[in-house]
Amino acid sequence: MNKYYVSVPLFLIVISLMGCATAPVPRYSSSPNTAVKLQEFHSTYPSVLFSVGDFSKPASADGEQLCRLGAHISMPDNQSYTQYIRNSLVDELSLAKMYRDSGGALISGKIQKIDFSSTSGTWVINGLINVGSESYTVNENYGYSTSYFGGSACRATAAAFQSAVQDFIKKIITNPKFKKTLRSLSAEASQDK
């Protein structure tokens, strides 16, 4: 009888800390700051268009990951993390009228790390980005509020991925090498006229 009184509360504590089921990442929505910056670029460099190539995945997992040994962090439309990042960049460029399916200056990337901690409330996205002839590293360490309880912590982790990607993309387009590429491509387009 004594074992029963100890086992049941212990089981309930373990289950509440683990989480359960699925924690869905929301569909990407544009970041207002990124949208404004890209629209400024489009006004200044109207002839520059980009196409978006592959974003290769890291050596670690690039799909659904377990959170607290119980909940799956699931991506919309069964995308991988890198597909989500790539498609989000396409969305941002499309909104600013700076995207072309093919033929524009190519943006691609090698995502070197994607990881989260539902305990400390952190997403880490590190990648090598190629824009035209320029390459640069972008590192995003996005912090968010988390919880001691598994289900709440995992839902917060999933919800925070969108914001981490928004900040990652903002760092891509605000890097000085991105603007250097814009100037260079605009100058080339002017010479071709």
Query: In sequence order, what are the residues at sequence separation of 6 or more whose Cβ sits closer than 8 angstroms to the Cβ of residue 20?
Result: 70, 71, 150, 151
Q: From the CA atom positions of the chain, what is the Rg in Å?
A: 20
Q: At 150, which CATH number?
A: 3.40.50
- Give me the number of domains the chain comprises: 1
The residue assigned the tokens 């903002």 is 170
From first to last of its 193 residues, what are the pLDDT tens digits of the chain?
A: 555 555 545 444 444 444 457 888 999 999 999 999 999 999 999 999 999 999 998 876 655 577 766 677 888 998 989 999 999 999 999 999 999 998 889 999 999 999 998 889 999 999 999 999 999 999 999 999 987 776 788 889 999 999 999 999 999 999 999 999 999 988 887 776 5
User: In this structure, is residue 19 part of a structural domain?
Assistant: no
pTM for this model (two decimals): 0.85
User: In this structure, is residue 60 part of a structural domain?
Assistant: yes
Closest CA to 92 of 158, 173, 184, 25: 173
Residue-range definition of the domain harbouring residue 113: 31-192
Query: In sequence order, what are the residues at sequence separation of 6 or more whose Cβ sits closer than 8 angstroms to the Cβ of residue 4?
Result: none
User: In this structure, is residue 5 part of a structural domain?
Assistant: no
40's tokens: 């400024």
